[in-house]
Structure 1
């Protein structure tokens, strides 16, 4: 749902026209790239904040507005923000200590006159102090000179092509601690469009938190069946225990802080916390959001690879072309 949080004075004043230039953190990630596209579609200038300018130019093109920003080096904050009047803030997965990093960037942005900040949080961050997102939300709510909006998406459909991809491709399985519960997967493309709409009309969204889910919920068994049908290779769902999931992530080589955060994010799956479909996304977009099935059929090539040992084509199934 739309949560009305304690408002900042920015909500009470006329914020004027759309934001003119947005600094987009995490610009080379799944979310950041889609935010760049969504802003371009609305004619709002964007600057990609990245650790490696050379890599960003190779990916985004030589004409892209790119700047170096390292959350671990506060000296990069002010130069990156120069000339921007808005900030899209995203927490890198491996970063757990937000006080000297994300929160400090917020302080520099506010001091420099940034007009509006959109923070990509997660569902439940307002109540769960174990999540790093909680501290960033609280810090933003204390701002008195800058407008802000919190986006709280549920589980991304893109996890299937990113966080879960290796398990799907190498082991032919989805391995998460979800039991028989379902998830209202939300598509990053829709979340990015909401972010762009906020920057286009910041006053309308100032001081608000938007909970964003997809329009349907699916069990992971249904996800596995969808992948099996789309890929023509059998994909199974194996429910993990919480200790088993922790160990699995550690064996995958993830940093300890990322293992902990990712496990906490998955902790509520068994109790059905991720199953509720929220109408906010549909209302903000003026159309139904994309479903998990839409994402899979739009990105079949992500999982197209030689079958791993022990994996067999799904009986009677044929791979479908991406829509």
Structure 2
């Protein structure tokens, strides 16, 4: 490929991992987002472009001269037609030669999640593409679940006893870099990306208890209780619904299967959840004075 890869969502977990993996692999890239200053601070020496999915006027300058696009849906975006799909259409006009879309496990058969509509539009666009369908991220423990773990000493989710083959975003980044280094070999492919082991959330809580040296418990939430919990946490309504749908799907085993694709693509095993927790233990330590009281019930 001649020309850089445009990486959207580069200030987030997945986009940031992809940008770092591309840079480590020596692939030319351009990072994109709404805060160019933050992009330049995180990726010194890497060209940065202003890209706002809500403002199509930013699309052309960001896409100018790029050879490939790594596309990521920001959690707050539910209307993908005028945002992500519009960027795909604009990418076709700029002769972008390959798109890698970070979807989610099961999106191809779940029309409720916005990723389904992006996948369908990408296929219809005729652009050469590869879809990555990672499962639940290990980094969720230090992101979406972090406040509950630190403040309430619990994981609170409507997942029942469902098991999850947690995948590390660093491995997702390495897969994306491998695909973008040789896109023709992956044209039209869709890869489900998981970690090497499936755990239920009681086992995750036990792992955190062991690592942190204080009790962490898993409390299975009802759908209504979880939605109310997210709203109290000021999670936007649409994001809360998508998050709830994805977690309730765990009850039906939607993320329990360990898929070999990641290890085959990388030529090595994926990182385990224990690897991630051990390496990032400070993310869940309470350091702001006396620890809060446990939440009961």
Same fold (TM over 0.5): yes
Q: Which residue of 2 aligns with 1:109?
A: 91
Q: Does 1:45 align with 2:28?
A: yes
Q: Which residue of 2 aligns with 1:10?
A: none
- Distance change >3 Å, CA 89–CA 232, structure 1 → 2: same
Deviations 1:164-218 (A, max 9, x none): 0010011111001122221110110111110000001101110011011111001
Structure 1 runs (4+) greater than 4 angstroms displaced: none
Q: Which residue of 2 aligns with 1:206?
A: 187
Q: Which residue of 2 aligns with 1:5?
A: none
Question: May I ask how many residue pairs the two structures share in their alignment?
Answer: 292
Q: Which residue of 1 aligns with 2:145?
A: 164
Q: Which residue of 1 aligns with 2:171?
A: 190
Give the alignment partner of residue 139 of structure 1, picking from 121, 126, 129. 121
Give the alignment partner of residue 105 of structure 2, picking from 107, 113, 123. 123
Cα distance in 2 for residues equivalent to 1:183 and 1:172 = 20
Q: Which residue of 2 aligns with 1:28?
A: 11
Q: Which residue of 2 aligns with 1:54?
A: 37
Aligned to 2:250, the other structure's residue is in SS state coil
Q: Does 1:310 align with 2:289?
A: no
Q: Which residue of 1 aligns with 2:60?
A: 78
Q: Does 1:291 align with 2:272?
A: yes
Q: Which residue of 2 aligns with 1:7?
A: none
Identify the structure with bigger relative contact order (alpha carbons < 8 Å, sequence gap 6+): 1
Q: CA deviation at 1:19?
A: 5.8
TM-score by length of 2: 0.96
Deviations 1:44-70 (A, max 9, x none): 011110101122223333x23111000
Q: Which runs of 5+ in 2 are unaligned?
A: none
Q: Does 1:246 align with 2:190?
A: no
C-alpha contact 2:11 2:38 (8 A) present in aligned 1: no
Q: Which residue of 2 aligns with 1:151?
A: 132
- 1:174-189 mapped onto 2 (5 Å cutoff): 174-189=155-170
Q: Which residue of 2 aligns with 1:216?
A: 197
- 1:212-291 mapped onto 2 (5 Å cutoff): 212-291=193-272
Q: Which runs of 5+ in 1 are unaligned?
A: 1-17, 312-323
C-alpha contact 2:106 2:254 (8 A) present in aligned 1: no
Q: CA deviation at 1:156?
A: 0.6
C-alpha contact 2:65 2:94 (8 A) present in aligned 1: no
Deviations 1:212-240 (A, max 9, x none): 11110011111111111111122111111
Q: Which residue of 1 aligns with 2:50?
A: 68
